[in-house]
Each structure stands twice: as C-alpha cells, then as structure tokens.
Amino acid sequence: MKNFDKFCFKLSDTFQYFEENHKKKTAILCAVASQIFFTVMYLCVTLLKGEYSSMQIINMRMITGFIFNTLYCQANKIEVYSDQPKVFKLLSLRGLLGGLNMSFVFTCFTLMTISDGSILVNTSPIWTNFLAAIFLGEHLSKKAVGFCMLSFIGIILVCRPAFLFQQTSITVENNQFLGTIYGLAGSFFVSLVAIIIRKLSKYNCNGAMHMQYHYFISIFFTSIILLTDSERPFVITFKFCYTMLILSFSGFVAQLLQSKALSLEKASIISPMKYLQVLLSFLIDILVLKSEVFMTSIVGACLIILGSVGIVI
C-alpha cells in the first residue's frame, strides 16, 4: 500500500511538473483525451438503446456520476455547495440546463447512429455565438453569421429530411428527423450551460461544484419521470451494470479533462478538438457497429465542422 501511495505521489508530481512547463501541450492532451472518453460514453448509450429508455440510462448515469463526483470532491477537499444566493441560483440553473441537455443528447443517440448524433450535438458553437450576443452583449460579426449558414446546410445534409431526400435504406430503429431535433436541442442547452459557466467564472466556482448540482437535479427529475412511466420495466442486468459503469466513469473523466483543458488554454484552441469525437464516431459506426454511413452525413459533418471552427477562430 505504501509503495502504491509513493507511485501515485510521484505520478502526480510528474504531471504537475509537465503541466507547469508545458501548459499548451497539457491542455491539448487533456482535450483530446476528453473526446475519446466522450465517444466511449456515447458508444455505451448506443449499446443500451432498444433495451432501455433514455430516461433509464440518464437516471443511472447521474446516480453513478454523483457518487464519482462526491468521492472526487472529498478526496480533493472541494466545497460543493454555495451559501451565496446569486451563486446558488446560477448553479441550480446550470444543473437544470445540464440535465435537460443530457436528456436530449442521450435520446438523440437512441434514435440515430453514433456518428450522426455526434455531429449534431457538437453544433453548440453556432448557438453559443447568438446567445452570447443576446445575453452577454458580445459582438456578432457578419463572418460568424456566414459560417452559421454554412453549418446549417451541413445540418440539413445530416438530417436528410424526407421531402428533400429519398430515404429507402435507413433502418427502422433510426429516426433521422426526430434524432436531429433532439440533437440540436441538446446542443442548444450545451450553449446555455456555457453562458451560465461564463457568468459563474467570476465567482471562482470549481467545475466539480458545477457537476454536483447537475447530477443532483438530474437525478431528481429523471426519477420522477421514471416513477410515472409504467410502460417499460426497469430490469437491471449484469450487462446493464457494467455498461453503465463504463458510461458513467467515461463521462465523469471526460468532463474533468475538458474543464482542465479549458482552464489551461483559450477556448478558441480547445473547442475545435471536440471534432475528434466526430471522426472517432464515424470509425466506430463503420468498424464496430457496422452501421451504414451516408455520404451526405460525411459532407454535412465537414460543413458543420468548417462552420463551427470558422465561428470560434
């Protein structure tokens, strides 16, 4: 046990030294690693779809996430509750919006392939630009509007609405249009969360404190929904338990790494890293899930990424 503690201490010192001397490299490595963990989380959601509803998956993900976050806060002596009324209101709002975001995003992945879902839930830079102009008074340039329109064309190609595209080979379990609505709604709430986090930044609130409110509020309202839903029984199997454990741990680590990356480097450098998730999702669909990948999705993904990166830069 002592040898293990020494190893952990030495490893921590090594990481701290690397972080202090190579901040940009550390930030990029954290951002890349976070997208890998996010992709694993969404893969787990895809593996559970059909057997479990999105609310069942989210409820268990939040319960296990709450446990992980509580242990992390206790180990690092992080305060998780604020006695400042304004901060408490902002954190509560952040928790509510985060729960809604998770609900829409997970539902999106139960309706679409992992690659199409990843494209849509990563359109948040489009929303953030307009919301920042409305709520934070930030300038909205003509360039940003132009790139938003480019991304919108990409969204249409991914959505493949029936009145524009002849859809003869899409499987029954995938609902492109409804999945697109949920994905874009999830992305919209991600942007709202980003606005709240910007407002909270001046109060020096730890990211783990944000997540504690997010988990607790999400557990509360998903539990109420599940108690009123008698159509689908909640059967807990061994497969469900180990898949949920991987899902929750991956999501928890991904969020910590993303917060770390954003604390070390500018958002304009870190944000484009999220599109690694889109590439990984396409590879998983092709190589692991053997899902059909449409050329319109690939072209749409390129346009959305180009538009989003153009907005950020």
| Distances from the Cα of 109 to the Cα of 71, 117, 166, 183, 189, angstroms | 29, 6, 23, 8, 16
Average pLDDT score over residue span 176-181: 85
Predicted local confidence at residue 245, as pLDDT: 92
Proportion of the chain above pLDDT 70, given as a percent: 79
- Tell me: pLDDT of 267 over 70: no
Span 147-170, average pLDDT = 67
Residue 189 near residue 101, CB atoms below 8 Å: yes
CB atoms within 10 A of CB 156: 15
Per-residue pLDDT at 207: 75
Give mean pLDDT, residues 209-232.
82
- pLDDT of 181 higher than 60: yes
Cβ-contact 176, 170 below 8 angstroms: yes
pTM: 0.78
With 0-12 / 13-18 / 19 or more C-beta atoms within 10 angstroms meaning exposed / middle / buried, residue 174 is middle
Q: How many Cβ atoms sit within 10 Å of the Cβ of residue 93?
A: 17
Mean of pLDDT values over 227-235: 72
CA distances from 205 to 87, 183, 212, 217 (A): 9, 28, 12, 18
* Alpha-carbon span 109 to 124, nearest angstrom: 16
> Average pLDDT, stretch 203-231?
81
Q: What is the pLDDT of residues 294-303, one digit of tens each?
A: 888 888 888 8
Q: Can you give the residue ranges of every domain in the chain?
A: 24-312
Structure tokens of 196?
């709240």
Residues 93-143: pLDDT tens digits? 888 888 888 889 888 888 888 888 888 888 776 776 677 677 666 666 777
